[in-house]
Structure 1
Amino acid sequence: MAQIELTDVRKSFDSLEVIHGVNLSVPDGCFVVVVGPSGCGKSTLLRMVAGLEDVSAGAIAIGGRDVTALEPKDRNVAMVFQNYALYPHLTVARNIAFGLELRGTPKAEIKQRVERAASILHLDGLLERKPRQLSGGQRQRVAMGRAIVREPDVFLFDEPLSNLDAKLRVTMRLEIRRIHESLGATSLYVTHDQVEAMTMGDVLVVMNDGHVEQIGAPLDVYERPASTFVASFIGSPPMNFLTADIEDREVRFDAGRMTMHHAELPRGSAILGVRPEHLRIDPEATDFEMSVRMVEAHGAETIVHGISGRHDVTVRLAGSHRIRPQDILPLAAERGHLHLFDIERGRRIA
């Protein structure tokens, strides 16, 4: 396998720049997830690594080799697409072997590689079936098998689970991680699903509008988001934001006030952020109150949506609760989980 290095990579379509100077290092054997909303440039970035899109500026290296100007076939990468891209008239075995056959790989070696990939992917009994005889999850595993048999330096995944139902996505998340760990592969995985990103990645790359907003371990990104965008995109339900004024250690907003214990706080206006799970109902609380608008009862947890002053607020509570619309809830915020962001740019300040 091999390390991936992106140095000030840019992409323009005519005069419109859509990727704005991305710098990224993917260590050998690491599983990196690029996550962001639709249209943020993540798939374009992946296609540039694959060689399917030209790089307008900057450089891409794989295993220390500059591949910026190389054709896809010369980069030794394998890509798994969203739509599987299987040949309907070929068997599972022939679909997996197709790339090797084009290269002129000896038949005995093809058979050995296909059988190994089928064993890894639990496709042993399906090799003579056609794609139409397979489930969505089985088709995705066949597409992965075609990538595995090539023994590439890098695996690239372009939203491979987005066509699957919710239950099957969970299963396939586990499968892809299991395969990654068994192969020790270097993988770059693109998704718009932040649950996929949090549960699958060793490292997250959060993108927004062609820029990298933050790079870090999933829990680090979750616990210390670099911006209001990251804080709202990573985490479900998203973080609550309240416009506040700061004086000394006191944070005041239209529906309440609280003291923060950070070592240093800026004076003036800022955005106070607190995640729904870091708010609790407390009859003795003096932080602020919320008027309930809607309650989502999930059994294991309860999501309460409401309004406090002029701010929408969401609270996530463990277990079941008898809360109804129009109820007034006294809320307390966990002091160790408060965030402050610059009001102009939305960047983290505390």
Structure 2
Amino acid sequence: MNLKPVDSTKTYLVTGAAGFIGMHLSKKLLSMGCKVIGYDNMNDYYDVNLKLSRLNILKKFDHFTFHKADLIDRDYLENLFSKNNIDVVINLAAQAGVRYSIEKPHVYIQSNIVGFFNILEMCRYHKVSHLLYASSSSVYGSNQKIPFSTEDMVDQPVSLYAATKKSNELMAHTYSHLYKIPATGLRFFTVYGPYGRPDMAYYSFTKAIIEDKMIKVFNNGDMYRDFTYIDDIVEGVTRLIENSPAIFNKTLPYKVYNIGNNKPERLIDLIQAIEHSTGKKAIKKYYPMQAGDVYQTYADIKNLFEDVGFKPNTSIDDGINKFITWYNQYYNQVDMN
């Protein structure tokens, strides 16, 4: 398979650059010699210090610039696009979290709907060569068929977060149809790893287990997630930047991919992996299934492999070991010397 390498002469705008996936992807592009413009509102949904730590990694690169701003600020975006010849937009900025969308629904409409609309408008008027944007495995909602395929109907979301992500796909499809904007949607499946999001289960479980605190285990641990290590996510997205059929199809330049490990793990097995890596036992308290949660996620990645020859393959044990090594260093749980 002859894949095009990432073009280091282009300028890449990464929204959500101080976020988990955004930082790792930006770092990868920067290490390849690309010019990256980072964009993030640095909100306090979780610890801003973690976002600052990610940002400090990126600021070490000379060809990185950063803009602290919100996607709903259309005037700021217009000024940014007008002053920079942005070739590729990778929109990872969004309000994340399934359960939080039940508590603060208005935040999701502003960030995930209005903000994404503004990005589409910038791509329309400034003629970017490719838009890649974060969707989510949450769009599959209450689908019973597994593994989840991008050919499945996804019209049964069970959270507002999922509904906003499906809306993003529909909006991108419309703009691709009307204005021939090459757009590639990325349905991420439970991403984890160093510098990850503290609201994710693997992160909060690790913190609680290390501190001998109780963890909440929903549905008695009988839930399955297609945990996908961050390096696999970055590799998949990097390959798609220059090789997605969306940028070659002139009739309808639009494509959606699952990026998942293609191997769901039980929640209770995740806890056991953390116990093994930390050498400590979890103090568990069991709860029923939470509103907005789904029982299982499982990615069919056939089209990802067919188009760019890549299949994520990091095991949960290896990935959790790497995460906990980072966690201990970051929070000074072990001697960094």
Query: Normalising by structure 1, what TM-score?
Result: 0.24
- Decide which structure has the larger Cα Rg and report it: 1
The higher-RCO structure (CA 8 Å, 6+ apart) is 2
Comparing both structures, which one devotes a greater share of its residues to helix?
A: 2
